[in-house]
Amino acid sequence: MKHARVAYLGAVYDASEQHGRLCLADGRTVDETAVVWLPPVQPRTILALGLNYAKHARELGSKAPAEPLVFLKGPNTIVGHRAQTRRPADATFMHYECELAVVIGSPARNVSRTNAKGYIAGYTVANDYAVRDYLENYYRPNLRVKSRDGCTPIGPWLVDAGDVPDPMNLTLRTWVDGKLTQEGSTRDMIFDIAFLVEYLSSFMTLGAGDIILTGTPEGAVDVPVGAEVVTEVESIGRLVNTLVGDAA
């Protein structure tokens, strides 16, 4: 099932997809253009992977890491489907990052790879924008790169894990103003989802609703103010975002 959170007529509702429309928790069905889309998950902790696709590492002039390069993001970074993200006036290279986002379903501590799937609630789409101008170094993005307000749209849907038979074989695509600029597959991750759950839970407890952003494939393109960016993960959804400048 596909789950969403939306605002409609001044109230917030859980919703699901029904015949191409949104079915609100109170039983009403509405068109998706009639609501404000909220992030489908309200995370406690957001863990993000840097350079988890070898070709993306190479296009940035870096080596593929020998172990996961993980950093934390604040909840302030998250916005929903069809939201706006600000491009700083001094940015010369700001790019999207289409990612499969893994949502934890129950507390996970010292979980083995074999059992990792049982701790995953579902999956959503993330677009974790990066401003390369602010990068501290190749493996540890600083606060100004990855913790900016509204820099990470997610959604529209949280898709139940049971409805995604093989999350390690999904196509990722990005379009900028209708032009395809990025295409890759989750099968090319350096560190797969089961490994990441095992690795992270070996030293910290993952909580229900926590999100793991699994990295982006090659195809980083600078995006200007006014651009509409669509990031898509096969079987999960299409996430739309628009870049705005300081005036907005």
pLDDT, tens only, 134-174: 876 655 557 788 899 999 999 999 999 999 999 999 999 99
Q: What is the pLDDT of residue 143?
A: 78
What average pLDDT does range 226-233 have in this prediction?
98
211: tokens are 């999100």
Q: Are 219 and 184 in contact (CB under 8 A)?
A: yes
**CA pair distance 97, 108, nearest whole angstrom:** 27
Q: What is the pLDDT of residue 141?
A: 57
Question: Range with the lowest mean pLDDT among 69-73, 86-90, 225-229?
Answer: 69-73
The residue that leads in pLDDT, 149 or 65, is: 149
Whole-angstrom CA distances from 14 to 3, 33, 84, 193 are 7, 16, 22, 27
pLDDT tier at 66 (50, 70, 90 boundaries)? confident
Q: Which residue, 148, 124, 122, 144, is CA-closest to 135?
A: 144
What average pLDDT does range 73-78 have in this prediction?
95
Q: Are 26 and 39 in contact (CB under 8 A)?
A: no
pTM: 0.94
Asked whether the CA dihedral 51, 53, 54, 60 is positive or negative, the reply is negative
Q: Which residue, 234, 210, 2, 215, is CA-closest to 119?
A: 210
Q: What is the pLDDT of residue 112?
A: 98
Domains of the chain, start order: 1-38 (2.30.30.370), 39-244 (3.90.850.10)
Task: Classify residue 112 as exposed, middle or buried by CB count within 10 Å of its CB (0-12, 13-18, 19+).
Answer: exposed
Residue 230's identity, in one-letter code, is V
**CA pair distance 224, 213, nearest whole angstrom:** 24
Write a three-state SS string for 190-202: CCCHHHHHHHHHC
Residue 109: Cβ within 10 Å count:
13
Mean pLDDT of the residues in the chain:
93
pLDDT tier at 100 (50, 70, 90 boundaries)? very high
Q: Are 128 and 99 in contact (CB under 8 A)?
A: yes
pLDDT, tens only, 39-53: 999 998 999 998 898
